[in-house]
Amino acid sequence: MNDDLFPSDETPARRQRRTTQSRTARSGTTQSGTIQAEATQPGTIQAGGAPAGMPGSGESYGAEQIEVLEGLEPVRRRPGMYIGGTDDTAYHHLASEILDNAMDEAVAGHASVIDVALEGARLLMVRDNGRGIPVDPHPKFRDRSALEVIFTTLHAGGKFSGKAYDTSGGLHGVGSSVVNALSDRLEVEVAREKRLWRQDYARGKPVTPLEEIGKAPNRRGTTIRFSPDPEIFGTLSFSPQRLYRLCCSKAALFRGVTIRWHVDPALIRAGDETPVEATIHFPNGLADSLNAELGETPALLAPAWAGEADLPQAADGRTGGRLEWAVAFLEHGASSMTSYCNTIPTPQGGTHEAGFRAALVKGFRAWGDQRSMKRAASVTADDILGALAVKLSVFIRDPHFQGQTKEKLTTQEASRLVEGALRDRLDHWLGGNPSQADNLLAFMIERAEERLRRKESKDTPRKSATRRLRLPGKLTDCTRENAADTELFLVEGDSAGGSARQARDRETQAVLPLRGKILNVASATADKLKANQELRDLIEAMGCGSGAQFDAERLRYGRIIIMTDADVDGAHIASLLMTFFYREMPDLIRRGHLYLAQPPLYRLTHGAKTVYAMDDEDRVRCLKRDFKPGAKVEISRFKGLGEMPVKDLKQTTMDPARRTLLRVITPPEERAVTSERVESLMGRKPELRFRFIQDHARTAELLDI
């Protein structure tokens, strides 16, 4: 019957008709029967594209369409599957993979020092003083060394059985080979048994054999130097700040390691405070890093509650792993939770976080019972967890993560193990510090009661419909009535306000100067927010209400444009404002009303020619592109919008015909993440806030309006 349906000399067009018939006839032909009959060259690699004569036709789908990618080809073809994409985060994930391997070596007790050096914008070196990747021939592929197998084969590694490592972050055996596949250059040097070995690769393929290049009498360990491939990542490069922060977080996770950081000073951009050199070591682990991060943030308990516990041994007597935590109880909002498993960050949480939460909630509830505090009954998990800044790190055997970027821990028993171990320690601690424990619980009860009050006020009907329109005195309004074609510029300070007023189009552009830094909304309570004059003016000027009262129909302008100075302070204010809108008027963003103006930082003039540059990098680019080499170009740096000549401000930043605006968006799939990011970044250090705006410039849509 198959023979009848698929005679071998049939033309594709005829076969197409026939197949259609057979589908309708449904004469018992199975799918696999079809595939078998058409399979002429199983396992060949297709150049891609549909066979001639039937472009894109669904009916051409047969065995010849099934490709088998070999070696590291799949990694280059579908990087997303291995590193989550080809964006900035994916780019830096390559660094994590290599650093994670060095950390695994340290956590296993074989390495104590890791050097991380950013030698070029896209050249990173990582060296550890561990055992060194094995260089002897691999028993299974006798003509290749274990090292070469590791770097050129997916799923090759020493962490599957737990014989060479106990609680490693590596588990898939793909990290090194993925980095190799996606690098246009990768060099490995291994010092092992007093000998020094080296092999070079390009795009996943060896370009030299593994060679002994000398003696290494006093050294051991692995050195890897690599450059992510521009064919895959375009013009991306490493961010010193991001790498430095990665090193700090790794060092905090394991007290037994020292990370020596170095970056070529030429790579540090103006305003970036990343050190050129640093020795990173946290003798008190997570507690050190949490306290450093919280800085001045008011907390009920300082220093944080921190500790360590061993997890129960497995039935076979092998180590069960361990748990480390640091918890701060914050006076207002801005809760955060950073978790790790085997030093791998798990931003999506997972079973270890679930165990942690359960232990805390149950522990405090039980304390309430024990102290007969009746009001404690209204306290929910959110009331407790919403006031915590948490760092949690677990080391377990054989962890299971979701995907190669390992953002979520899925090991089921982690939840029970963490809950058990932590609950024990929490009960002990509460019992040992009863007055402190009572204070904490009283604070949680207060949070619960505030939540109930908020809910009540939300349920009362809006009475604003007939409210008389009040406008703040500082607002310079535009004359046109129709909201859709008008814009409100939010500017920083009165002097910038003055320039903006002169540079604006009176008919369609309104200006509202905001004084100083607006309140950091992520860490303020609802009451404090309401009391803040700057924010009240802002809400009034916009006319649309905030929070539960927000009503897009009443918005008085079509575009709300944040226009701050092109420096770190400006970025900070812009990010505070974005946080405010994100928290209080998320619909404003969703509906595409929020924008960032893009004022330049430099003006370059030579003769009659004037060019504006956005930042230092842009200035260098413009100099090269727009002026003759050697020309005496006059460069002025604008100290702030207030000092920028009105004509320049109009031309570059405000005039709808010539400016560029960035629209602030929250992509739907990122919404959950964004909320977390806003919460965790806004509560803390200014540098973090700066990064938020830089990163978000990437997710913001570029629009010329």
Ligand X SMILES: Nc1ncnc2c1ncn2[C@@H]1O[C@H](COP(=O)(O)OP(=O)(O)OP(=O)(O)O)[C@@H](O)[C@H]1O
Residues belonging to the active site: 492, 565, 567, 569
* Residue 285 interacts with which of ligand X, Mg ion, none, CB < 5 to 8 Å by class: none
CB of 448 to ligand X, least distance (A): 42
Considering the rule CB under 6 A, would residue 679 count as an interface residue with ligand X?
no
* Residues touching ligand X, count (CB under 6 A): 22
Q: Which is nearest to 18 in space by CA: 62, 59, 64, 65?
A: 59
Contacts with 629 (C-beta within 8 Å, 6 or more apart), sequence order: none
**Binding Mg ion by CB under 5 A: which of 62, 79, 132, 170?**
170
What is the distance between the alpha carbons of residues 403 and 174, in angstroms, rounded to a whole number?
Answer: 11
User: Could you tell me the smallest distance in angstroms from the CB atom of residue 112 to ligand X?
Assistant: 13
Q: How far is the CB of 176 from ligand X (least distance, A)?
A: 3
Q: In this chain, which stretch among 129-137, 422-430, 658-666, 680-688 interacts with ligand X, using CB under 6 A?
A: 129-137
Q: C-alpha angle 172/174/178, rounded to 5°?
A: 150
Residue 560, phi-psi category: left (phi > 0), alpha (psi -120 to 50), beta (remainder): beta
Does 529 show up as a binding residue in the annotation?
no
352 known ligand binder: no
Among the residue ranges 7-15, 157-165, 275-283, 501-509, the one whose residues contact ligand X (CB under 6 A): 157-165
Q: To the nearest whole angstrom, how small is the minimum distance from the Cβ of residue 190 to ligand X? A: 8
Nearer to Mg ion, 135 or 379 (CB): 135
Closer by beta carbon to Mg ion, 101 or else 227: 101
d(C-alpha 698, C-alpha 675), whole Å: 17
The DSSP call for residue 110 is: S
CA–centroid distance for 500 within its chain: 35
Residue 192 binds ligand X (CB under 6 A): no
Of Mg ion, ligand X, none, which one sits near residue 321, judging by CB under 5 to 8 A according to partner kind? none
Region 173-192 residues binding Mg ion, contact defined as CB under 5 A: 173, 175-177
| 125 binding ligand X? (CB under 6 A) | no
Of positions 38, 128, 148, 679, contacts ligand X by CB under 6 A: 128
Q: In this structure, how many other beta carbons lie within 10 angstroms of the beta carbon of residue 282?
A: 21
- 56 burial via Cβ count (<10 Å: 0-12, 13-18, 19+): exposed
Q: How far is the CB of 232 from Mg ion (least distance, A)?
A: 18
For β-strands 559-563 and 594-597, DSSP reports them as parallel
Nearest to 594 by CA among 612, 582, 608: 582
Pick one of Mg ion, ligand X, none as the site partner of residue 666 (Cβ within 5 to 8 A by kind). none
The answer on whether 175 is annotated among ligand-binding residues is: yes
Check whether 368 is labelled as a binding-site residue. Answer: no
Q: Per DSSP, which regions of 318-443 are E strands?
A: 322-329, 336-341, 344-345, 388-395
Q: Lay out the sheet containing 609-613: strands in order across.
A: 609-613, 602-606, 634-637
Could you report how far apart the first and last alpha carbons of the chain are, in Å? 64
Q: With 0-12 CB in 10 A as exposed, 13-18 as middle and 19+ as buried, what is 505? A: middle
Can you read off the two tokens belonging to residue 530?
């309401």
Burial class (CB in 10 A: 0-12, 13-18, 19+), 139: exposed
Please pick, from the candidates 167, 177, 199, 342, the single residue that binds ligand X as defined by CB under 6 A: 177
d(CA 227, CA 180): 9
Centre a 10 Å sphere on the Cβ of residue 400 and count the other Cβ atoms it contains: 16
- Please, which residue, 144 or 332, has the CB nearer to ligand X? 144
Q: How far apart are CA 230 and CA 368, in angstroms?
A: 58
Residue (175 or 355) nearer to Mg ion, CB: 175
157 binds ligand X (CB under 6 A): yes
Interaction with ligand X in 63-122: which residues (CB under 6 A)?
97, 100-102, 105
Report angle CA 52, 54, 56 to the nearest 5 degrees.
105
58 CB burial (10 A radius; 0-12, 13-18, 19+): exposed
Site for ligand X in 644-673 (CB under 6 A): none
Identify which of residues 221 and 570 has a Cβ nearer to Mg ion in the complex.
Answer: 221
The residue at minimum Cβ distance from ligand X is 170
What's the closest the beta carbon of residue 345 comes to ligand X, in angstroms? 14
Q: Which of 62, 130, 350, 570 binds ligand X (CB under 6 A)?
A: 130
Name the residue nearer to ligand X (CB basis): 133 or 541: 133
State residue 58 phi and psi, 5-degree precision: -60, -25
Q: Which of 33, 71, 162, 173 binds ligand X (CB under 6 A)?
A: 173
CB of 413 to ligand X, least distance (A): 20
CA 300 to chain centre: 29
Stretch that binds ligand X, among 37-45, 155-163, 314-322, 540-548 (CB under 6 A): 155-163
Cα separation, 434 vs 431, whole angstroms: 6
Residues 218-247 contacting ligand X, CB under 6 A: 222
What is the C-alpha separation between 299 and 120, in angstroms, rounded?
41
d(CA 496, CA 494): 5
Annotation-wise, does 609 bind a ligand?
no
Report in angstroms how near the CB of residue 673 gets to Mg ion at its nearest: 24
Annotated binding residue 379: no
170 a known binding residue?
A: yes
What is the nearest approach in angstroms of Mg ion to the Cβ of residue 130?
13
Of residues 173 and 472, the one with the C-beta less far from Mg ion: 173
* Member of 123, 174, 248, 538 binding ligand X (CB under 6 A): 174
Report, in Å, the least distance between residue 685 CB and Mg ion.
Answer: 30
Give the residue, chosen from 175, 321, 350, 355, that forms a contact with ligand X under the rule CB under 6 A. Answer: 175
Stretch that binds ligand X, among 152-160, 197-205, 437-445, 552-560 (CB under 6 A): 152-160
Pairwise CA distance, residues 586 & 588, whole Å: 5
Is position 171 annotated in a ligand binding site? yes
Find out whether 174 is annotated in a ligand binding site.
yes
* Footprint (CB under 6 A) of ligand X, residues 319-338: none
Looking at beta carbons only, is 81 or 673 nearer to Mg ion?
81
- Does residue 131 interact with ligand X by CB under 6 A? yes
Nearer to Mg ion, 189 or 565 (CB): 189
594 has which bridge partners?
Answer: 560
Chain-centroid distance of CA 405 in Å reads: 12
Applying CB under 6 A, which of residues 158, 320, 333, 350 lies at the interface with ligand X?
158
In angstroms, what CA-CA distances link 597 with 487, 653, 660?
A: 12, 6, 7
User: DSSP assignment, residue 650?
Assistant: I
Tell me which of 19, 22, 101, 348 binds Mg ion, using CB under 5 A. Answer: 101
Nearer to Mg ion, 179 or 529 (CB): 179
Residue ranges of the binding site: 61, 101, 128, 170-176, 406
Positions in the binding site for ligand X (CB under 6 A)? 97, 100-102, 105, 128, 130-131, 133, 150, 157-159, 170-177, 222
Positions in the binding site for Mg ion (CB under 5 A)? 101, 150, 156, 170, 173, 175-177
Residue ranges of the binding site for ATP: 61, 101, 128, 170-176, 406
